[in-house]
A and B are shown apart, each in its own frame.
Chain A
């Protein structure tokens, strides 16, 4: 296709992507170097019959004036990146010199907001992704062995958790496992502990969110694996049966190698999706004990007093860095395939 026609065909889609994906990333980058203005304080002398007092108050007029002049805030350089709510370089080095053991140091650093969120996000990714692959694969194998006639409705039932939005999915589960829900209430009776509640314990909250993650993402892995299983060649399988291979051996030596490229694809896609976890935290109202990187950004943006653009932007940029690290193998793979295809 000549460049000219290509340009006109692609122009609308390209423009939309540049304006609303490319520019926002740049805008986030710029915002991350600015912080909101400090309030301008003035000393006011107040005299009454008992004497004079000076008190410090906020000069509303000057504050709003400077806000209007420089709406982006004051230039802060990398200040936001290294403050207490982000990389916290001062605190980390302080903890390093204070702490007697590495364990103590890690414990202290893990309590800083950014690292806390990072630890949760990584834990979530590292546990949920393999579980999703495994469960998705088992469901695919097992549905594949069931009669073709009833597979349609079974597949529909299987993909339900995936098609609802994460907020709704987590709410539906939360209403069941909460202290007043069907599972939560019965657990209390079973464990004989009337105060047992998902919200009250950090470990339980984490486990719940992780279970939710597996529940929500497995259907995606299932669908892809199921489709891949349909393309497994029959002859080698039949040959292996004649040779006396067990069911497990057949899966291990014939099915798995055949669908291996798909496994890496699913792993990377779900790793990327899991890295941006945040809606379940809202759905499970688990802000207290579980925070993720995306949730930190959300929290900055819905801040009631003043929206912390700079802080949200700095976390965003660091999230983007994290995503790019995960993304690199995907890009390399696509690049290789594209080269071999032409």
Chain B
């Protein structure tokens, strides 16, 4: 609110700045700290004796002879087979994003151009489906999947994630297609195009801003998912997030805690970069439902 009339007092300005700085510290410091700590040995990052060790790298120097070590990374990526998990994540993410955008654009376009009552009811049902906790759906999947013997493999998980993602994608793209003027495709219909041709030649060229936003959210859902991937994939096919959990071990003192730390950093970094580049789309997607209603 930059009002010409609004004269802010200096104390208010200072207070505001301090507040923002504190909040940003709270929001970002844990990630910076974890990033920093992932290059240390366990005795430094989890040091009971003196937390200052994490900064001076006391034990890291003794154990490895340098201030920074890539031990945790090489351990997790090769010994801990995190490369396999990240490969699985890439497969799952790319498939989920492309399939759910394909289904979502077609479905949402139809919903936005239909004036029938059932279109409204479909949207309402999608809203109900969107609210279902994923774990309750998983408890419905497990038994039939065991019976059909399709449990544990990547394709099943991909299809499930696509389906779970559909309600949100439909709503997002529906509100996007509503902003694309009807006259565009109607004129094409009058010229003798079928609906598919109108979609292909008129809508597809202008739909990319909406599709990118919807794609980002599908990507974040598939990439971040824990509930579905942890319970529907076997050990061999685990993606990154369940893999991180498996490093934790049941007891804090066993397991490979530093592997988990470096795995967390490896899994988070690509996501942060992505959001940095597509910040505008992420924010427009989050607000689409709220502002337009």
Task: Establish whether residues B291 and A231, one from each chain, have CB atoms under 8 Å apart when the complex forms.
Answer: yes
Task: Establish whether residues A228 and B20, one from each chain, have CB atoms under 8 Å apart when the complex forms.
Answer: no
B102 proximity list for chain A (CB < 8 A): 12
B113 proximity list for chain A (CB < 8 A): 1
Task: Establish whether residues A307 and B142, one from each chain, have CB atoms under 8 Å apart when the complex forms.
Answer: yes
Tell me, yes or no, whether A64 is within 8 Å of chain B by CB: no
Chain A 150-171, CB within 8 Å of chain B: the 1/0 string? Answer: 0010111111110111111001
Tell me, yes or no, whether A145 is within 8 Å of chain B by CB: yes
A279–B3 Cα gap in the complex (Å)?
A: 44
Tell me, yes or no, whether B111 is within 8 Å of chain A by CB: yes
A168–B241 Cα gap in the complex (Å)?
A: 8
A237 proximity list for chain B (CB < 8 A): 1, 3
A278–B227 Cα gap in the complex (Å)?
A: 9
A223 proximity list for chain B (CB < 8 A): 283, 286-287
A176–B261 Cα gap in the complex (Å)?
A: 12
Tell me, yes or no, whether B23 is within 8 Å of chain A by CB: yes
What number of A-B contacts does a CB cutoff of 8 Å give? 292
* Size bracket of the A interface: 35 or more
Q: Which of B45, B261, B272 contacts A163 (CB 8 A)?
A: B272
Q: Which of A193-239 contact B (CB under 8 A)?
A: 215, 219-220, 223-224, 226-229, 231-232, 234, 237-238
* Distance in Å: Cβ of B119 to nearest Cβ of chain A: 8
* Distance in Å: Cβ of B96 to nearest Cβ of chain A: 11
Task: Establish whether residues A12 and B107, one from each chain, have CB atoms under 8 Å apart when the complex forms.
Answer: yes
Q: Which of A148, A182, A316, A338 contacts B136 (CB 8 A)?
A: A316
* Distance in Å: Cβ of A256 to nearest Cβ of chain B: 14
B190 proximity list for chain A (CB < 8 A): none
Task: Establish whether residues B110 and A331, one from each chain, have CB atoms under 8 Å apart when the complex forms.
Answer: no
| Given A1-B113, A13-B106, A171-B260; A215-B195 close (CB under 8 Å) | no
A76 proximity list for chain B (CB < 8 A): none
Chain A 300-319, CB within 8 Å of chain B: the 1/0 string? Answer: 11100001010011011101
Task: Establish whether residues A31 and B264, one from each chain, have CB atoms under 8 Å apart when the complex forms.
Answer: no
A185–B8 Cα gap in the complex (Å)?
A: 41
B41 proximity list for chain A (CB < 8 A): none
* Distance in Å: Cβ of A319 to nearest Cβ of chain B: 6
* Distance in Å: Cβ of A167 to nearest Cβ of chain B: 5
Task: Establish whether residues A16 and B140, one from each chain, have CB atoms under 8 Å apart when the complex forms.
Answer: no
Tell me, yes or no, whether A257 is within 8 Å of chain B by CB: no
Indicate the member of A17, A227, A337 with the most B CB atoms within 10 Å: A17
| Given A6-B110, A16-B166; A145-B1 close (CB under 8 Å) | yes
* Distance in Å: Cβ of A8 to nearest Cβ of chain B: 8
Task: Establish whether residues A143 and B20, one from each chain, have CB atoms under 8 Å apart when the complex forms.
Answer: yes
Tell me, yes or no, whether B139 is within 8 Å of chain A by CB: yes
Q: Which of B27-82 contact A (CB under 8 A)?
A: 27-28, 30-31, 33-34, 37, 45-48, 51, 54
Stretch of A21-29, A48-56, A88-96, A124-132 on the interface side: A21-29
B19 to A, closest residue via Cβ: A142
Stretch of A79-87, A106-114, A260-268 on the interface side: A260-268
Tell me, yes or no, whether B91 is within 8 Å of chain A by CB: no
A196–B169 Cα gap in the complex (Å)?
A: 46
A3 proximity list for chain B (CB < 8 A): 116
* Distance in Å: Cβ of A302 to nearest Cβ of chain B: 7
Tell me, yes or no, whether B275 is within 8 Å of chain A by CB: yes
Task: Establish whether residues A157 and B51, one from each chain, have CB atoms under 8 Å apart when the complex forms.
Answer: no
A158–B272 Cα gap in the complex (Å)?
A: 12
A45–B223 Cα gap in the complex (Å)?
A: 57
* Distance in Å: Cβ of A275 to nearest Cβ of chain B: 7
Task: Establish whether residues A220 and B34, one from each chain, have CB atoms under 8 Å apart when the complex forms.
Answer: no
A294 to B, closest residue via Cβ: B135
A307 to B, closest residue via Cβ: B142
Indicate the member of A24, A182, A226, A331 with the most B CB atoms within 10 Å: A24
Tell me, yes or no, whether A179 is within 8 Å of chain B by CB: yes
Q: Which of B122, B139, B248 contacts A312 (CB 8 A)?
A: B139
* Distance in Å: Cβ of B105 to nearest Cβ of chain A: 9
Task: Establish whether residues A13 and B195, one from each chain, have CB atoms under 8 Å apart when the complex forms.
Answer: no
* Distance in Å: Cβ of B183 to nearest Cβ of chain A: 15
* Distance in Å: Cβ of B202 to nearest Cβ of chain A: 14
| Given A24-B140, A298-B135; A175-B283 close (CB under 8 Å) | no
* Distance in Å: Cβ of B159 to nearest Cβ of chain A: 7
Tell me, yes or no, whether B164 is within 8 Å of chain A by CB: yes
| Given A163-B275, A323-B132; A71-B147 close (CB under 8 Å) | yes
Contacts A/B (CB < 8 Å), 16 sampled: A1-B115, A13-B103, A19-B163, A27-B141, A155-B279, A156-B279, A175-B46, A178-B46, A185-B51, A227-B287, A229-B1, A238-B3, A262-B291, A276-B134, A316-B139, A331-B124
Given contacts A12-B102, A301-B142, 20 further A-B contacts (CB under 8 A): A16-B103, A20-B160, A24-B141, A24-B144, A27-B140, A154-B24, A158-B27, A163-B272, A167-B226, A168-B241, A171-B248, A185-B51, A227-B286, A227-B291, A276-B134, A297-B139, A309-B139, A316-B140, A320-B132, A327-B128
A-B pairs, top 3 by smallest CB distance, nearest first, are A24-B140, A20-B163, A13-B107
Please report A residues at the B interface, Cβ cutoff 8 Å. 1, 3, 5-6, 9-10, 12-14, 16-17, 19-28, 31, 71-72, 138-139, 142-146, 148, 152, 154-161, 163-168, 171-173, 175-176, 178-182, 185-186, 215, 219-220, 223-224, 226-229, 231-232, 234, 237-238, 241-242, 247, 261-262, 265-266, 272, 275-276, 278-279, 282, 285, 294, 297-298, 300-302, 307, 309, 312-313, 315-317, 319-320, 323-324, 326-327, 330-331, 334-335, 337-338, 342
